[in-house]
Structure 1
Amino acid sequence: MFNHLPLQLQLLTSSALSRSSVVSIRSLSTQPRRSYSSSLPSSSSTSIFPSSSPVPHRSVISVGGKDATKFLNGITGVKIPDSFSGRPFYGSFLHAQGRILFDVHLYPHPPTSSFLIDFDSRTSPALIPAIKKFVLRSKVSLKDVSDQWDVWAAWDHEQAKEDGLRSWKWGTGESAGLVGWEKEQTMLPGTSGGAEGESPVGLEEEVGGWDLRAPGMGWRGLVRKGGRPSLASPSTSSSPPDPSSYTLHRILHGVPEGIEDIVPMSALPSESNLDFMGGVDFRKGCYVGQELTVRTYHTGATRKRIVPVKLVPLSTNDSDASSSSPLPLPTPSTDVRLVAISPSPSSSTSPSSPAPSSRGRSSGKILSSVRTPEGDVVGLALLRLEQVGSVWRGEGEMSVEGEGEGAGKWKVEPREVGWWPKREVEVEVGERE
């Protein structure tokens, strides 16, 4: 399945890493720049996204008032526009220690002179109590408007594509800040966000735009309770849309979201790929969590990242054709273990096999996972980059064991993400034959 993904999430060939005995993740260049084509449909009749779904587990709040921009600028990891107009954008709220509290989407909303913010509804404490302590004397109003808005995503348009040139600026460590993303927005016909494209149903009923976290993510926005996006194909089914289709969509594009992937008070911005996705700004001035975040960018090392994985059953139900029920998916935050592979001593041509160690070394954590329509299982995992390299070089295998009755064991196959910024790899020359 992964061989046909839009982002070509394929295994990195071991031959690319076999030129030396040691490969460092540290890089030597300051590029890259990635461009994406733009081909916007000329009429609203063709502005249809064939795939759409509500985004599960999201709540919405409104932040308004005279000091709303100044207030949000001081507590979010991204730059907030000076007015309540413009395109939606991705962002984050950080703890003073630099760890992530919320990954959010922010929508300027002129009709209410406010910013609408969607966030994971399962987070405790919720967003309003978490930021209310920073209001002090600021002229700001905070309101839960989840009863007024639904969060939707739409994708798979064959003609409408994101426009712009994405470029990243690498720090001394392994973080890469996305720069120039403000210039990447090309208006979708019939969407909100500026004078060039007012929504056909009005900003009172819908607000949204490109989801710029990764190429191919499509449209994301807020729709009045019970409605559907104006750019989504009309539903032909009497059944409600399946939110798991969105989960599969973002996993296939290597995009983490919500508390299962970005664990509050545990996840770090660079490890969660917020630097790649534009969810944190290393050039911005003071904000909560800024000091440690920028220090990591300039002097730290990112040893772990969230990567897409394919899960292959190694035991019980999914490998048994006669089984009546599939193997339960691994619980989020379950340990992923790396077992070294050693060649058989009997023959130099014998296939490699796992070392005798029963559990292996800890490599990270499995995060969200979902089954594809074809029956494959894909997911995201927070993994040590050094050990991912070991798997790609054929030096080890990763696995995760489920918990509870009927749980089995899964082989974890890390995948490379095509849209990630690339840097030249520094090769430390070791002994060669």
Structure 2
Amino acid sequence: MPSPSFAHLTDRALIRLSGPDTHHFLQNLVTADLKTIDRTGAGSAALLTPQGKILFDFLIYKAGDAYLLDAPATAAQDLIKRLALYRLRAKVDLEPLAGETGVFAIWDGTAETPGAMLTVADPRLPALGLRSVGPVSMSTELAARQADIAAYDAHRISLGVPEGLKDYDYSDIFPHDADLDQLNGVSFSKGCFVGQEVVSRVQHRSTARKRFIPVESSSALAEKGTSVTAAGKSVGTLGSSAPVDGGTIGLALLRLDKVAQAKENGSPLQCGDAELQARLPDWAEFNWPEPTTAD
């Protein structure tokens, strides 16, 4: 049996939050329930705009008396600034972790993580594997096959799990669009958080019409943001993609009702010159809606 794979996710950064008010501070801000994270050790979350759109997405780890946010490296400083704006008089310290501490993904099996600060199951989806935080020197000590970020992204895309900035821009879409409600990224029982009213309304009225779902093509796919069409009309946009087995897999934010209508009409999905096949991910609790021509 082949050994598991791991990748040092150098495109991720860690932010440490500590202090006596940290739990309460995060509980009132982010979409995840900190009580669950305290119990399980990890969670998926987002910080939303007051209008309910995703401003930042990240993973949260419980690390002793502190919490670590695992966020896109290019957004980390902006996230710290935003959290500082909300902090006011709360006794919370915010600091980026030094560059010698890294984030590692381990998939297709488990591996020993010598010297790790923490190792947890990815809270979004068990099939994603493990997430580990530790010294960058772990790269030479892990009993697993070293891979690169592109290999990990291909694994993530194949499972249908979108990520901020790789698949969508911040402040553009709602948590249901990014499947956060399906991937343990939103608590609907913990009470208020920024943007909670909008997200709860979508949940209780079952009005989520767009979703990121996996797509496949025998051709190379265009860049993120390219329109996906059916019968010449837009039905969504492409997110990230990766080559695999002579073809390409990707994620696309699609109007499910319009895709269902295209399927019924026999109209193929197009993205540039490539024809796409769309499917629902295995973990989805949503189904194809009844076909409709409504906008």
Give the alignment's TM-score, normalised by structure 1.
0.62
Name 1:208's counterpart in structure 2.
119
Give the direction of change, closer, same or farther, for the CA distance of 1:66–1:302 in structure 2 (3 Å limit): same
Q: What secondary structure does 2:123 align onto?
A: coil
Quick one: which of 366, 371, 380 aligns to 2:243? 371
**Structure 1 alignment gaps of length 5 or more:** 1-45, 161-188, 191-198, 314-326, 340-359, 402-408, 429-433
> Number of paired residues?
292
Quick one: which of 207, 218, 221 aligns to 2:129? 218
Instruction: Check whether the contact 1:69–1:82 (CA below 8 A) recurs between aligned residues.
Output: no
- What is the alpha-carbon distance in structure 1 between the residues aligned to residue 82 and residue 99 of structure 2? 20
**Matching residue's letter, 2:125:** A
Deviation for aligned residue 1:392: 3.3
**Matching residue's letter, 2:180:** L
**Matching residue's letter, 1:369:** S
Q: CA RMSD in A?
A: 2.7
Give the direction of change, closer, same or farther, for the CA distance of 1:207–1:243 in structure 2 (3 Å limit): same
- 1:334 aligned onto 2:226: yes
Quick one: which of 381, 384, 405 aligns to 2:252? 381
CA-to-partner distance for each residue in 1:352-398, whole Å, 9 max, x for gaps? Answer: xxxxxxxx1011100001112x2311100000101221343352111
- What is the alpha-carbon distance in structure 2 between the residues aligned to residue 302 and residue 229 of structure 1? 45
Instruction: Check whether the contact 2:37–2:43 (CA below 8 A) recurs between aligned residues.
Output: no
Name 2:30's counterpart in structure 1.
76
**Matching residue's letter, 1:384:** R
Instruction: Check whether the contact 2:256–2:288 (CA below 8 A) recurs between aligned residues.
Output: no
Higher relative contact order (CA 8 A, sep 6+): 1
Name 2:7's counterpart in structure 1.
53
Give the direction of change, closer, same or farther, for the CA distance of 1:49–1:81 in structure 2 (3 Å limit): farther
Give the direction of change, closer, same or farther, for the CA distance of 1:68–1:152 in structure 2 (3 Å limit): same
Quick one: which of 169, 189, 193 aligns to 1:283? 189
Name 1:114's counterpart in structure 2.
66
- What is the alpha-carbon distance in structure 1 between the residues aligned to residue 55 and residue 35 of structure 2? 22
**Matching residue's letter, 1:57:** D
CA-to-partner distance for each residue in 1:172-217, whole Å, 9 max, x for gaps? Answer: xxxxxxxxxxxxxxxxx96xxxxxxxx763xxx3312111322411
**Matching residue's letter, 1:331:** E
Alignment of 1:384-395 (within 5 A): 384-395=255-266
- What is the alpha-carbon distance in structure 2 between the residues aligned to residue 223 and residue 200 of structure 1? 9
Name 1:176's counterpart in structure 2.
none
Give the alignment's TM-score, normalised by structure 2.
0.89
Which is further off, 213-222 or 288-297? 213-222
Alignment of 1:306-317 (within 5 A): 306-313=212-219
**Matching residue's letter, 2:283:** W
- What is the alpha-carbon distance in structure 2 between the residues aligned to residue 425 and residue 331 of structure 1? 28
Name 2:274's counterpart in structure 1.
410
- What is the alpha-carbon distance in structure 1 between the residues aligned to residue 22 and residue 14 of structure 2? 16
**Matching residue's letter, 2:277:** E
- What is the alpha-carbon distance in structure 2 between the residues aligned to residue 124 and residue 87 of structure 1? 21
- What is the alpha-carbon distance in structure 1 between the residues aligned to residue 67 and residue 97 of structure 2? 11
- What is the alpha-carbon distance in structure 2 between the residues aligned to residue 99 and residue 427 of structure 1? 27
Q: Which has the higher helix share?
A: 2
CA-to-partner distance for each residue in 1:92-111, whole Å, 9 max, x for gaps? Answer: 1111110001111111111x
Q: What secondary structure does 1:134 align onto?
A: helix
Alignment of 1:250-289 (within 5 A): 250-289=156-195
Alignment of 1:284-303 (within 5 A): 284-299=190-205, 301-303=207-209
**Aligned-residue identity in percent:** 29
Give the direction of change, closer, same or farther, for the CA distance of 1:277–1:49 in structure 2 (3 Å limit): farther
CA-to-partner distance for each residue in 1:31-75, whole Å, 9 max, x for gaps? Answer: xxxxxxxxxxxxxxx9x9611112352111000001010111111
Name 1:140's counterpart in structure 2.
92
Instruction: Check whether the contact 2:264–2:291 (CA below 8 A) recurs between aligned residues.
Output: no
Which is further off, 81-90 or 264-273? 81-90
**Matching residue's letter, 1:71:** F
Instruction: Check whether the contact 1:154–1:220 (CA below 8 A) recurs between aligned residues.
Output: yes
